[in-house]
Amino acid sequence: MEVLPYAPQDFNTRIPHYEDAFERFDSVKGRALVDTDIHDLFLAHKMEKTFGITIAHRHFVLNNNEHLVAYGNTSTPWSDVAKDDSTIKAVTWFITPGGAVQPYEFEFTISEKEVLNPNSPEQTKFVQELAKLLKEKKVEGLFGLVKYPGDDFKGCLETTQGRANICFVKGEVSQIFSFWMVED
């Protein structure tokens, strides 16, 4: 499996803005594709506890020296992340139209384990077959892989404030938004 190096300029040009990505997802009936063919491929390769599928999207442009790094439920641009910084790990990868993967979102973690292993024959075969499926379905450039969030993940509502992406977990959403809502 070819893993391309991270490049902020690729984040800004290859990763579509979220409005465009979700519009395309809807237009190609992406939910049905995820619930059937993509789901089946994850299960067939036993990758459902390693990766998740994501709609590749961005909310803002990064500067040339920035990485989008999550800490907790918030992702913000971090400047000048060293290539050998063992606390910054890739957690989201774009699947290029040619079938390579490229990291585009990261997390701050003390874990030593990398999720994506280009030396794993199982992961390589899975990524190759996923890229082939995306090409067959004419949805290249729409999806990415994301680190499996764990069995207890219930989803989140992502919102952007300035240059910060914040994921409100499912249980928090109704409390937060009922606070923001004004009764007539």
Pairing status of strand 101-108 against strand 74-79: unpaired
Find the mean pLDDT for residues 155-172: 84
* Radius of gyration over every alpha carbon of the chain, rounded to an integer in angstroms: 17
Mean pLDDT rounded to a whole number for the chain:
89
Q: What percent of the chain lies above the pLDDT cut of 70?
A: 92
* CB of 145 closer than 8 Å to CB of 95: yes
Which strands sit side by side in the sheet containing 88-95, from one edge to the other? 51-55, 143-147, 88-95, 101-108, 66-71, 74-79, 164-169, 156-161
pLDDT surpassing 90 at residue 113? no
**What are the residue ranges spanned by the domains of the chain?**
8-152
Cross-strand partners of 92 = 105, 146
Q: What is the pLDDT of residue 4?
A: 95
* CB of 76 closer than 8 Å to CB of 164: yes
**Top mean-pLDDT range of 20-34, 80-94, 146-160:** 20-34
pLDDT surpassing 60 at residue 46? yes
Of 174 and 119, the one with more pLDDT: 119
Q: What is the pLDDT of residue 180?
A: 45
